Amino acid sequence: MQSPVIIKLGGGLITLKDQLCTPKMSIIRNLAQSIHHLVKMNKRVIIVHGAGSFGHLKAKSWKLHEGRTDEGLPIEDEFTSQVEAIKSVRQDMKNLNQLVTNEFNKLGMSTISHSPHTWAFETGRNFIGDLNRFNLEENSIHFTHGDVVDCKGTTEFGILSGDDICYRLAVELNASHMIFAMGGAPGVMTLPPSNPETKLIPLWTPNKIFQGQHQSDIDVTGGIYLKLNVAEKISQHVPMVWIIDGECPERIEEVVQNGDTYGTRIISESP
Ligand code: IP8
């Protein structure tokens, strides 16, 4: 079976992160077109997408990343319990997934979606879940995403990030490429993207020191820090690991076709 190209579409790329359940449709459409070119070249593609404003906002206010708790929950809200909030976030994530896959279907690509709460348990990259389901039906693009999953013990549930799913898919399915497409920056930057002095780091090796920006007021998962940590670990197994600007989706094609683009390549050892 062909080694897959795994593409993570960041939540901040495909949604407006601070406006509840607001997709960026034109960006999703452009991504679908670029990825279509790869599919027409007979590349096997697996797509993992983040949650953005379809997941993080409600998860944060209902503390879903902390597991079962009674403390500090909203008092006047559309939900009365964490259980109701979980149901709603899972549905919102299904809706986002549908919006994304529709754009691929419109271009004639067949897609299969795997909502993690139906097959995965526990959080972090050691989550439990059989990834063989992504090997079936080779002619379809398989999709999955970050989600609220069930956990054993007193936490009962938690947030499984799409980045951790990427790690497992890339390693267990022997990916040829792992491409993180983000919004708002051409790759990993020396300073937060809003700083005019910021510069792209074209080659990232482990333990580089940098000042990232993590919107911890919005994100319940790890933002750029989790991404870099996961990307470093993936680069020990996968030859081509990149963090690129998904608003220029032709860069995804360039990585796969030429092995190079404007973005940050992650390698496991210093050259
Ligand atoms: O955006 C988070 O997934 P991520 C999932 O891939 C939820 O980290 C539901 C907040």
pLDDT digits (tens, 9 = 90+) for 108-147: 999 999 999 999 999 999 999 999 999 999 899 999 999 9
- β pairing state of 203-204 and 147-150: unpaired
Give percent above pLDDT 90 in the chain.
84
Examine the pLDDT at 223 and tell me if it is beyond 80. Answer: no
56-70, 195-209, 243-257: lowest mean pLDDT where?
195-209
Rounded (10°) CA dihedral 158, 162, 163, 168: 90
- β pairing state of 240-245 and 264-266: antiparallel
Rounded (10°) CA dihedral 192, 226, 170, 246: -30
Nearest CA to ligand 1 atom 5: 146
Ligand 1 lined by 10 (C-beta under 6 Å): no
**Which atom of ligand 1 is found nearest the CA of 148?**
9
- pLDDT per residue as tens digits for the range 68-112: 999 999 999 999 999 999 999 999 999 999 999 999 999 999 999
The rounded Å distance from CA 26 to ligand 1 centre is: 21
Q: Is 17 helix (H, G, I), strand (E, B) or coil?
A: coil
Ligand 1 lined by 53 (C-beta under 6 Å): no
Between the CA of residue 197 and those of 190, 194, 248, 261, what are the distances in Å? 8, 9, 22, 22
75 class by beta-carbon count within 10 Å (0-12 exposed, 13-18 middle, 19+ buried): exposed
The rounded Å distance from CA 271 to ligand 1 centre is: 33
Nearest CA to 28 among 111, 121, 84, 89? 111
Mean pLDDT in residue range 248-257: 98
Examine the pLDDT at 163 and tell me if it is beyond 80. Answer: yes
The rounded Å distance from CA 223 to ligand 1 centre is: 10
Banded pLDDT at 206 (limits 50, 70, 90): confident
Ligand 1 lined by 158 (C-beta under 6 Å): no
Examine the pLDDT at 270 and tell me if it is beyond 60. Answer: no
**Which atom of ligand 1 is found nearest the CA of 163?**
6
In the β-sheet with 111-114, what is the strand arrangement from edge to edge? 111-114, 141-145, 45-49, 5-9, 177-182, 240-245, 264-266, 203-204
- What is the predicted pLDDT for the residue at 213? 62
The rounded Å distance from CA 43 to ligand 1 centre is: 26
Phi/psi at 231 (5° precision): -60, -40
Ligand 1 lined by 164 (C-beta under 6 Å): no
Ligand 1 lined by 144 (C-beta under 6 Å): no
Ligand 1 lined by 56 (C-beta under 6 Å): yes
Residue 81 CB partners (closer than 8 Å, separation 6+): none
- What is the predicted pLDDT for the residue at 217? 63
Q: Do 221 and 57 meet the contact criterion of CB atoms below 8 Å apart? A: no
H or E segment to which residue 203 belongs = strand 203-204
Banded pLDDT at 218 (limits 50, 70, 90): low
Ligand 1 lined by 86 (C-beta under 6 Å): no
In CATH, the number for domain 5-266 is 3.40.1160.10
Examine the pLDDT at 271 and tell me if it is beyond 60. Answer: no
- What is the predicted pLDDT for the residue at 104? 98
**Which atom of ligand 1 is found nearest the CA of 162?**
6
- β pairing state of 157-160 and 147-150: antiparallel
The rounded Å distance from CA 197 to ligand 1 centre is: 30
- What is the predicted pLDDT for the residue at 52? 97
Can you tell me which residue has the tokens 């030859």?
239
How far is 27 from 4, CA to CA, in rounded Å?
23
- pLDDT per residue as tens digits for the range 164-176: 999 999 999 999 9
**Full-model pTM:** 0.95
